[in-house]
Structure 1
Amino acid sequence: MNPLALDFLAFALSFAAFSAIALSTERHSKQVFGRLPALAARHTLTVAGWLLLFASLLPALAARGPSIGSLAWLGYLSLASVAIGLMLSYRPRPLRFAAPALLGLAVLAWGMAGH
């Protein structure tokens, strides 16, 4: 398995997770969508975000092993959170497209790498 594809998948899952968690909040959902989604949708985003966050650990561990993989995962979490923070500060609207697009690219890269 190509470790770079797994690294990219771990980062994309982290990015999607933090995007979902951010969009589950009232303030950020208004920034990105211009309105407040229904409460059920916000709860779904919260649960999906946490599940994606835990899922992002698995490719990092598979790519680098438990010691380096966990450290790399913390790096991906940091990078994803900074990217989300900058997007929410300067260009919040594209976030609704960036997270699904990045996640789709990561799954495509994972599939091409011969998962």
Structure 2
Amino acid sequence: MTAWIAGALIYPGLVLLALAMERHAGQIRGQLPARRTVLACRTPGAALLAFALALCVQAAGVSVGIALWLGVITLAALGLGLVLAYAPALARPAAVVSLAAGLLGWLAGAA
């Protein structure tokens, strides 16, 4: 269950990091990012990745948790790469749905 929640949190983090890059922001938004947008996307994107790492480490221990996180981040990056290649307009809506699902899963697991 932790891997699914981590994946649901990692995907929007990767989308935020992609929005901070000129090439991918051009694909997703159709325009280059402003300097403020770059800074506003990098921080929460990195925070989501760190939060997912903390969830994996808490659930499976340090060594297995890091390996789990690396596997999940690889699959999420593959998914984002496919979305950017074939349907870049769906990247942001998919990130919103994924973030909501991840947060709901985390809150349901914490309760």
Give the TM-score, by structure 2 length. Answer: 0.89
Q: Which residue of 1 aligns with 2:99?
A: 103
Identity %: 33
In the alignment, structure 1 residue 88 sits paired with structure 2 residue 71:
no
Count of aligned pairs between the two proteins: 111
CA offsets 1:18-69 (integer angstroms, 9 cap, x no match): 1111111112112111222322012211222222222210111122122211
Residue among 65, 68, 71 paired with 1:72:
68
In the alignment, structure 1 residue 32 sits paired with structure 2 residue 53:
no
In the alignment, structure 1 residue 112 sits paired with structure 2 residue 105:
no
Residue among 10, 31, 42 paired with 2:6:
10
Asked if 2 retains the 8 angstrom alpha-carbon contact of 1:7 and 1:63, the reply is no
Q: Structure 1 residue 107: deviation in Å?
A: 1.0
Q: Which has the higher helix share?
A: 2
CA offsets 1:52-97 (integer angstroms, 9 cap, x no match): 2222101111221222111101101101111111111111111011
Superposed CA RMSD? 1.4
Distance, in Å, in 2 between the alignment partners of 1:59 and 1:8 is 11
SS of 2:89 mapped into structure 1: coil
- Structure 2 residue ranges without an equivalent (≥5): none
SS of 2:33 mapped into structure 1: coil
> Which range is displaced more, 11-20 or 76-85?
11-20
Asked if 1 retains the 8 angstrom alpha-carbon contact of 2:19 and 2:33, the reply is no
Distance, in Å, in 2 between the alignment partners of 1:102 and 1:26 is 23
- Structure 1 residue ranges without an equivalent (≥5): none
